Amino acid sequence: MARAPLFLVLGYGLPTALLAANLIFGYGGILATMGLFVWIGLAVLMSPTEEEA
């Protein structure tokens, strides 16, 4: 079984899980929601290209 690279877990998985918890439980408010979207956007920008991978 192949393991996911760390940038996928920390860049996409963790903020998506926190965003889901924020939406389900209403924990964190609008500032946390905006911060998580920024986090996901930065993960997209900082993910390695095909040449770097």
Cα 22 from Cα 24, distance rounded (Å): 6
Three-class DSSP category at 50? coil
Is the separation of the CB atoms in 40 and 12 below 8 Å?
yes
pTM of the model: 0.75
Amino acid at 3: R
Buried b (16+ CB within 10 A) or exposed e, 1-11: eeeeeeeeeeb
> How many Å is the maximal CA-CA distance in the chain?
41
Tell me the per-residue pLDDT of 1-53, one tens digit each, with 9 for 90 and over: 567 788 888 888 999 999 999 989 988 889 999 999 999 999 888 888 787 76
